[in-house]
């Protein structure tokens, strides 16, 4: 049995308890989700009726592959003073039943171009303090097939979690005279937590990952916003995401990923954080914020590099 270990984040006051033996506990199998077919899918082209379209990758013709629409069930809308904001859904393909890791590199670059267009437009809306681009990919372990999509939400508030990251970032910069993400690349190069890299991008399983199989995608160039990525850098993201998300698909793990940008700060280092779906949080996590992770990052990196097979698909 492997011993547990407490680790602290590189620069934030976050603690994670790694308990590898927990993944050997008896597990209960989740109930398979309802199968979603093309007939009842909201994101198949034939179901679009009067949607507000904000972006199409073919201009506004009939040959789009990536499209952005205003979320019909949005919690935040521009006409509501009590819950002001905007929420859009980026439908990543017109084909039902595909995953983003099945797309070509060029197609993933087109998805990134949609992220950039919507991010840039929403951050320029009046009264917007933060814009988050994210994807929830669920139901891998069950039988559900969801039409693959991402979301972009513009918020009228700066979320405390984002502010806490900004404060920790600034403090690290003052103390070390280097951005923490540039420093993480330096510190982790040649370490066992490296998942993949090329001249543009560094992908690692972070030392104190707060979710099993967590991964960070950090551009090697110190850039503040996703809109500053070059074509070649977007291709590097696409290649790495095909490998990493393809592995999660293979082992049956659902995930979220989110693009971290800073819209109201002079300096930041944009990146994408991947958070495979963690165990349902229990009393310790809810009461203290201290998270238990049953998969060591070194082990996760070996699995992503294809050197080890995943021992369990449920956690
Ligand atoms: Zn569909
Ligand atoms: Zn940096």
Question: What's the pLDDT tens digit per position in 34-93?
Answer: 456 777 888 888 888 888 999 999 887 778 999 999 998 888 999 998 999 999 999 999
Report how far ligand 1's centroid is from the alpha carbon of 69 (Å): 14
Residue with tokens 């990196």: 301
**3-class secondary structure, 77:** strand
Quick check: 278 pLDDT over 70? no
What is the residue-wise DSSP string for 126-172? Answer: TT--EEEEEEEE--SSSS-----EEEEEEESS--HHHHHHHHHHHHH
Report how far ligand 1's centroid is from the alpha carbon of 128 (Å): 31
Report how far ligand 2's centroid is from the alpha carbon of 295 (Å): 27
Quick check: 1 pLDDT over 70? no
Around 104, how many Cα atoms within 13 Å sit in the side-chain half-sphere? 4
**Nearest ligand, measured from the Cα of 42:** 1
Neighbours of 105 (CB within 10 A): 15
Top CATH class of 45-155 equals: alpha beta
Tell me the whole-structure pTM to 2 decimals: 0.92
The beta strands (E) that lie in 1-141 are given as 5-8, 15-18, 53-60, 67-70, 86-91, 130-137
Hey, where are the domains in the chain?
Answer: 5-27+158-304, 45-155
Phi/psi for 82 (5° steps) reads -85, -20
The beta strands (E) that lie in 30-129 are given as 53-60, 67-70, 86-91
Neighbours of 104 (CB within 10 A): 10
Report how far ligand 1's centroid is from the alpha carbon of 182 (Å): 40
Domains 5-27+158-304 and 45-155 share a fold: yes
Report how far ligand 2's centroid is from the alpha carbon of 5 (Å): 29
pLDDT in tens, 102-148: 999 999 999 999 999 999 999 999 999 999 999 988 754 443 457 89
CATH number of 5-27+158-304: 3.30.428.10
What residues sit around ligand 1, an ion, with C-beta below 5 angstroms? 41, 43-44, 96, 147
Q: Whole-angstrom Cα distance, residue 129 to residue 155?
A: 6
Q: Whole-angstrom Cα distance, residue 47 to residue 168?
A: 45
47 Cα distance to chain centroid = 27
What was the pLDDT predicted at 49?
Answer: 85
What residues sit around ligand 2, an ion, with C-beta below 5 angstroms? 179, 181-182, 222, 269
Q: Whole-angstrom Cα distance, residue 273 to residue 79?
A: 32
Report how far ligand 2's centroid is from the alpha carbon of 172 (Å): 11
**Nearest ligand, measured from the Cα of 95:** 1
Report how far ligand 1's centroid is from the alpha carbon of 44 (Å): 4
**3-class secondary structure, 286:** helix
């Amino acid at each position: 049995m492997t011993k547990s270990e407490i680790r602290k984040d590189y620069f934030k006051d976050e603690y994670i308890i790694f308990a590898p033996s927990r993944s050997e506990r008896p597990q209960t199998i989740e109930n398979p989700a309802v199968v979603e077919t093309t007939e009842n899918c909201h994101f198949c082209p034939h179901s679009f009726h009067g949607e507000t379209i904000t972006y199409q990758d073919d201009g506004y013709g009939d040959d789009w592959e990536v499209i952005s629409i205003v979320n019909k069930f949005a919690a935040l809308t521009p006409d509501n003073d009590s819950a002001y904001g905007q929420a859009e859904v980026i439908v990543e393909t017109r084909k039902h039943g595909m995953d983003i890791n099945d797309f070509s590199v060029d197609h993933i670059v087109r998805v990134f171009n949609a992220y950039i267009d919507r991010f840039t437009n929403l951050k320029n809306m009046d009264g917007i303090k933060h814009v988050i681009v994210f994807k929830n990919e669920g139901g891998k372990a069950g039988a559900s097939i969801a039409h693959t999509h991402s979301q972009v939400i513009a918020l009228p508030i700066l979320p405390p979690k984002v502010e806490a990251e900004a404060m920790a970032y600034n403090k690290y910069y003052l103390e070390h005279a280097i951005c923490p993400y540039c420093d993480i690349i330096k510190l982790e190069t040649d370490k066992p937590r490296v998942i993949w890299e090329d001249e543009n991008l560094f992908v690692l399983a972070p030392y104190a990952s707060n979710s099993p199989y967590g991964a960070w995608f950090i551009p090697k160039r110190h850039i503040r916003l996703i809109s500053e990525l070059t074509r070649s850098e977007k291709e590097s993201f696409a290649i790495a995401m095909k490998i990493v998300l393809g592995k999660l698909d293979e082992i049956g793990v659902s995930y979220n990923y989110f693009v971290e940008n800073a819209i109201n700060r002079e300096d930041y280092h944009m990146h994408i954080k991947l958070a495979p779906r963690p165990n349902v949080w229990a009393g310790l996590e809810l009461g203290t914020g201290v998270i238990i992770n049953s998969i060591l990052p070194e082990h996760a990196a070996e699995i992503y590099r294809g050197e080890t097979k995943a021992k369990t698909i449920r956690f």
